[in-house]
């Protein structure tokens, strides 16, 4: 139904243009319909050029944004995030070093206390390899 009506309207407009052209030839003056079509054509041409100009500028700005600006800003954000995380990690490690879990009441950690006893000769070292080698020698005898 719609296609039939569009076809009918376009056919009638073609017939109207032909009739208007014949009247213009007889009168030697432009008719109202011809002036209307000419002015509309001028406005449509201006609108078309404006649209093409806006499209080309938008395309250039979009490509510039995608190819240049977004990678720069993403690298900048990544670098800021990495430095922030390093700073927070440093604060966390410092807090961990000052933790009560690692400290004893006398102010020295258990690990360092044990190390000093081993270096003095007071501590014991359980070497797995010595025990296993003695067991093997005993089994061989």
The model's pLDDT over 85-135, given as tens digits with 9 standing for 90+, comes to 999 888 877 766 655 555 545 555 666 666 665 556 555 555 555 555 555
pLDDT at 33: 80
- Evaluate if pTM is beyond 0.85: no
Q: 90 — phi, psi (to 5°)?
A: -60, -40
Given a contact cutoff of 8 angstroms between Cβ atoms, the answer to whether 23 and 31 are in contact is yes
Given a contact cutoff of 8 angstroms between Cβ atoms, the answer to whether 109 and 103 are in contact is yes
The model's pLDDT over 28-64, given as tens digits with 9 standing for 90+, comes to 887 788 888 888 889 999 999 999 999 999 999 999 9
Q: Which residue intervals of the chain are DSSP H helices?
A: 2-27, 32-64, 70-97, 110-120, 128-140
């Amino acid at each position: 139904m719609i296609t039939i009506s569009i076809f009918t309207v376009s056919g009638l407009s073609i017939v109207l243009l032909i009739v208007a052209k014949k009247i213009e030839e007889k009168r030697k003056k432009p008719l109202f319909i011809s002036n209307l079509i000419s002015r509309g054509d001028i406005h449509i041409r201006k609108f078309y050029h404006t649209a093409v100009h806006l499209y080309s500028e938008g395309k250039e700005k979009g490509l510039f944004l995608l190819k240049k600006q977004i990678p720069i800003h993403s690298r900048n954000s990544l670098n800021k995030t990495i430095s922030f995380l390093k700073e927070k990690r440093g604060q966390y490690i410092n807090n961990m070093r000052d933790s009560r879990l690692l400290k004893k009441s006398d102010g020295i950690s258990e690990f360092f206390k044990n190390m000093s006893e081993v270096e003095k000769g007071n501590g014991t070292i359980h070497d797995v390899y010595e025990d296993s080698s003695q067991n093997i020698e005993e089994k061989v005898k």
